[in-house]
Amino acid sequence: MSTLKPASAADAEIPPRGNRLAGRVVLLFGGGSVGEGWGNGKATAVAYAQEGAIVIAVDRALDAARETEVIIAELGGRCVAMQADVTNSASIQAVVETVLDAHGRIDVLHNNVGTTIMGGPVELSEEEWDVVLDVNLKSAFLTCKHVLPAMLRQGRGAIVNISSMAAIRYTGYPYSAYYAAKAGVNQFTVGLALQYARQGIRANAIMPGLMNTPLIYQQIGSQYADIEAMVQARHEACPVGRMGTGWDIAHAAVFLASDAAAYITGVCLPVDGGLTCKAT
C-alpha cells in the first residue's frame, strides 16, 4: 500500500490497555510524526500510555507532539506534549528539568529522533554530514547526559534507543552519514549498558528494518521511479512479505522498557521481519 491511514484513537492496531508500565514516567523524544499515519515515535508513545505510563511526548514540532497527546487522551491515557531541539543541550535540559519538577523521576528514556540525507562522502556537504550525525547520534548523547543523573539517583531506569539495520549492514541506499550515525548509536548503547549495569540502569537499542512509516515517503521515495515502486520493492525485500509498521517497533520498545526485560541490557535488537538474516 502506498498510503498510510490517518492516526487516530479509532485505529484498530492500537494495543489494548495493560499495566506493564503503570505509573512509570516515560520521556520520549521524537513523539510526533512527520506526516499522516503512525510513525515509530507516535505509535510507541501510544503503546507506552496503553500500558499505564505517564508519557512526555517531545518533538521539534509541537503540533506533532500535541497530536500524540490528543490521541492518548482520547484513549484515557496520560500524555504531555513538549517541544525541544534534540541537537541543543539547553533545550533538552529544560525539558528534563520540567519533567523532574512535575513528576520527580524519569523511569524510561526513549530516543526516537532520526533523519537521513542521501549521498556518499563526495555528494554530501560537511554541513549535511553534521546534521545527520547530530540528529541521530549527538541527540542520544545529550538526552542521556541530562537524564542519567536522575536515573542514578533513583537507582534504576531503562533507556531505549532507536537505531536501524543500517547500523550493521548496507541497505542499498546511498546515505553514508546515516550508516555511520546508527552504528554509533549501537555502540553508544552497548557502552551505556555496561557502564551503568551495576547502578540499575538498562540500555538497549532497536534496529528497525524496512518500515512503512511516514518518514520513508519524505526521505526515501526519491530513490525510486515512483512511490508504488518503492512500496512494492520494500515489501518484496522482506522475508515475511511486508514492511514493518510503527506498531512493530512500539511492541518491542514496551517490552524492553518493562520489567519483563529486567535481565536484558546491551542488546541491539533487529525488528525487521528477518531481513538481517538474509545473505543479500
* Residues acting as catalytic residues: 178
String of DSSP letters for 72-129: HHHTT-EEEEEE--TT-HHHHHHHHHHHHHHHS---EEEE-------B-TTTS-HHHH
What residues contact residue 3 under an 8 Å CB cut-off, 6+ apart?
none
What residues contact residue 116 under an 8 Å CB cut-off, 6+ apart?
132, 173, 175, 178, 219, 220
| Rounded Cα distance, 131 and 136, in Å | 8
Grid cell digits, residue 31? 513523539
What is the radius of gyration, based on Cα positions, of the chain?
Answer: 18
Which residue do the cell numbers 543523573 mark? 149
